[in-house]
Amino acid sequence: MSEKSELDAAGITDPALRQAYGRCRELNAEHGKTFFLATRLLSPAQRPAVHALYGFARRADDILDEVDPTRTDEQRARELTVLSDDLAAGLKGDKDTLDDPTLTAVIHTAQHYDLGWDLFDAFLASMRMDLTVTDYPDRAALQQYMYGSAEVIGLQTLPILGTVVPREEAAPHAAALGTAFQLTNFLRDVDEDLRRGRVYLPADELAAHRVDRELLSWCQIHGTTEPRVRSALREQHAMARQVYDEARPGIAMLTPQSRPCVSAALTLYSQILEQIERMDFQIFTGRATVGTARRLAVAGTGIVRAWAARLRSPAA
C-alpha cells in the first residue's frame, strides 16, 4: 500500500502533516530496513504513527552519531537540549514545529495516542548518556540506559498496536521486547561501538570471564574473537534469549491485526541473535544479518496472517 493510502487510512489530511509523516516513512525505509519490513504487516492506519516514532528516534540518534569531527560533544548536547525543548513546547502547543518534519509527526502521534512526556523525557535522557557514558559497570547501570533507549519504545508503540487485555498487563512484555532488540544490537555491534569509544556490555559480567575493554580492542585490531571474549559473549547471548522469552507472551495480548507484525519483528531480530551464534561469535570480522530471502519468507508468512486478521476484523 502506498504512503498516500496509509495516510488516508489514518485520517491524516492536513498537507503539512502528510509531508511530515512522509519524511518519517522515508527515514524508516532507508535506515531501518528490517523494522520497516515488519511495519508493512500492520494495518495501514497504524503505520504512520510507528514511522513517526522511528523518525523522531532517528533524529535524536543522528545528533549523536552523525559523522562530523568538527562537532563537539558540547554542541551535540546543546542540540539534544534544543530538540527536547522543542518537543516539550510542541506537545504543549507553544511552538510551531513545521520546519522539522520528525517533530511535527511525532507530536501529532503523541497527542493522538496520548503518549506521555515522561516516555520521551526518558528516551532523551538515555541519548544524553551516550555523550558522557562510555562503559557500564554492571547490569543495573545498563538497564537504566536501556529503559530510556529501548523499553520506552515498546511502551510508546503499545497504544498504537492496541491490546486485548488491560494495557498495564501487556506493558512489561512490550518493554522486554524493546530490551531484547537492543541487547541483540549490542552483541552484533560490539566492533562498531568500540570504534565510537563505547562498550554496551556490563563490565562486571565481562570481568567474570577475564575480559575488559583492552582485550576487546585487541580482538578488534586482530580481527578475531579471543576464547575468553567468546565465553563472555556466549553468556550475554543466553541472557538476550531469556529476554525474548519474557517478551513473547505479550504477542497474544495485542489486538489480532498487530500480532503478525510484532511476531515477524521478534522472529527476524532473534534470528540475528542466532546468526551471531552460527558465526561462532566472530563479530570482529563481519556483521550478523538476516538474508533478504529469509526476511521475505518471514514477511510473506506475516502478510498472510495479517490479511487473515483484517478479514476477521474489517474495522481494523
Residue that wins the pLDDT comparison between 103 and 301:
103
Q: CB atoms < 10 A from the CB of 23, how many? A: 18
In 3-state terms, what secondary structure has residue 163? strand
Is residue 84 located within the same domain as residue 209?
A: no
Domain limit, last residue, from 116, 146, 181 = 116
The boundaries of the domain holding residue 91 are 1-116
Torsion of CA 113, 116, 120, 125, to 10 degrees: -160
Question: So what's the pLDDT on residue 37?
Answer: 78
For residue 23, tell me if it sits in a domain: yes
Is residue 171 located within the same domain as residue 227?
A: yes
Domain limit, last residue, from 116, 151, 183 = 116
| Three cell numbers written together for 76 | 551535540
Among the listed ranges 5-9, 23-27, 36-40, 290-294, which one has the minimum average pLDDT value? 290-294
Is residue 147 located within the same domain as residue 286?
A: yes
Residues 205-209 have a mean pLDDT of 98
How far apart are the C-alpha atoms of 164 and 254, rounded to whole Å?
Answer: 6
Is residue 30 located within the same domain as residue 61?
A: yes
Is residue 160 located within the same domain as residue 302?
A: yes
Is residue 112 located within the same domain as residue 162?
A: no
In degrees and rounded to multiples of 5, residue 51 shows phi and psi of -60, -35
Angle at 200 between CA 207 and CA 204, to 5 degrees: 20
Summarised one tens digit per residue, pLDDT across range 164-179 is: 999 999 999 999 999 9
How far apart are the C-alpha atoms of 202 and 64, rounded to whole Å?
Answer: 21
Summarised one tens digit per residue, pLDDT across range 51-97 is: 999 999 999 988 987 667 788 889 999 999 999 999 999 998 877 77
Mind giving me the DSSP string for 186-230?
HHHTHHHHHHTT---S-HHHHHTTT--HHHHHHHHHHTS--HHHH
| Three cell numbers written together for 269 | 531480530
For residue 10, tell me if it sits in a domain: yes
Is residue 153 located within the same domain as residue 109?
A: no
Question: So what's the pLDDT on residue 287?
Answer: 86
Contact 170, 253 (CB under 8 A): yes
Q: List the beta bridge partners of residue 254.
A: 163
Is residue 92 located within the same domain as residue 162?
A: no
Confidence of residue 303 (pLDDT cuts 50, 70, 90): very low
Is residue 217 located within the same domain as residue 271?
A: yes
How far apart are the C-alpha atoms of 261 and 251, rounded to whole Å?
Answer: 9
For residue 127, tell me if it sits in a domain: no
Name residue 215's amino acid: L
| Number of structural domains found in the chain | 2
For residue 126, tell me if it sits in a domain: no
